[in-house]
Chain A
Amino acid sequence: MKAINEMKMNFLSRSCNESFARSAVAAFTAVLDPTVEEISDIKTAVSEAVTNCIVHGYKDGIGTVYIHVKIFEGNRISINVKDKGCGIADVKKAMEPLFTTCDTGERAGLGFSIMDSFMDKLKVRSKPGKGTSVTLEKIIVSKGK
């Protein structure tokens, strides 16, 4: 299926870009007239995906985070967030609620759970040493409909 609109952006994996990334994606989807709750869901899911790239994918340095957003017929949006970082050896394990590699007790281990619950579809592909690609999909039920 061909996208009726799309947007690509790349930025460095600096944590100050987390806010920029989620706001930019939310702004791009504004044309679909999403509700306040839908915007909030998208921002939260994107924030989780981008934070994963920064905290995990590029844990040993700074790399590039790639975001590709597509809008399809029927108000369907697809958001791909990708890094070329360390990758995940066991994706199934990483997606388990409360699983975290952080031992300070300050990270909840709920990133994938939130992405899964706040969006309609979540797809994760990863290769150790190559990077991780997360695709989030949601159908926007516009306010006026």
Chain B
Amino acid sequence: MPVEIDIDENIVTAYISGEIDHHNAYELRKKIDEAAERVYPELLVLDFGAVTFMDSSGIGLVMGRFKLIKDLGGRLAIENAPKSIRKVMRMAGIEKLIEKEKEGNFI
């Protein structure tokens, strides 16, 4: 399973693991969106702690979830992204947003 979903009242946390590329991004976003659309969470957390590789498909994944959670009236947080993943995120300016709000990393 490339993603474990944890639901705690108003917070949905997606623990993503392994590699994020174009091939498996579809499955990841299906699982995450299904939980988000069911719970309407205040906060959607994408936990990248166990992600070993990510290309720009991961940026698409974050941007797509950002749009969804905004439509649902919630906020998005990115947590535990390893150095190599942050380097890719920096390309989209997502890294800057994480840096700005250390506490909780809300974007």
Residues of A69-101 at the interface with B, using a CB-CB cut-off of 8 Å, are none
**A51 & B21 in contact (Cβ 8 Å cutoff):** yes
- Contact with B22, one of A36, A40, A51, A117 (Cβ below 8 angstroms): A51
A48 at the interface (CB under 8 A from B): yes
Q: Which residues of A contact B61 (CB under 8 A)?
A: 106
The answer to whether A113 and B91 have CB atoms under 8 Å apart is yes
Say if the beta carbon of B64 comes within 8 Å of chain A. Answer: yes
Closest B residue to A45 using CB positions: B55
Query: B61 CB to closest chain A CB, in angstroms?
Result: 7
Is the beta-carbon distance between B23 and A106 smaller than 8 angstroms?
Answer: no
Does A103 touch B at the CB level, under 8 Å?
A: no
Measured between beta carbons, the chain B residues less than 8 angstroms from A19 are: 19, 21, 23
The reply to whether A15 and B23 form a contact with Cβ atoms under 8 Å apart is yes
> Do B29 and A106 touch across chains, with their CB atoms under 8 A apart?
yes
Query: Is the C-beta of A16 less than 8 angstroms from some C-beta in chain B?
Result: yes
Which residues of A lie under 8 Å from residue B88 when comparing CB positions? 44, 114
Q: Does A30 contact B (CB under 8 A)?
A: no
Q: Tell me the interface secondary structure of chain A in the complex.
A: helix
Q: CA–CA, A17 to B58, complex, Å? A: 17
Residues of B within 8 A of A27 (CB): none
- Chain B CB within 8 A of A55 CB: yes
Measured in the bound complex, the distance between the Cα atoms of B54 and A48 in whole Å is 10
Chain A 93-128 residues near chain B, CB threshold 8 A:
104-111, 113-114, 117
Q: CA separation between A93 and B59, bound complex, in Å?
A: 20
15 chain-A/chain-B pairs, Cβ below 8 angstroms: A18-B21, A19-B21, A40-B84, A47-B21, A47-B53, A54-B22, A55-B22, A104-B64, A105-B60, A106-B60, A106-B61, A106-B64, A111-B56, A114-B55, A117-B91
Residues of B within 8 A of A (CB): 19, 21-23, 25, 29, 53-57, 59-61, 63-64, 67, 83-84, 87-88, 91-92
On A, residues with C-beta under 8 Å from B are 15-16, 18-19, 22, 36-37, 40, 43-44, 47-48, 51, 54-55, 104-111, 113-114, 117
In the complex, the 9 A-B pairs of residues with the closest C-beta atoms, listed nearest first: A15-B23, A108-B59, A47-B55, A40-B84, A110-B56, A51-B22, A108-B60, A106-B60, A106-B64
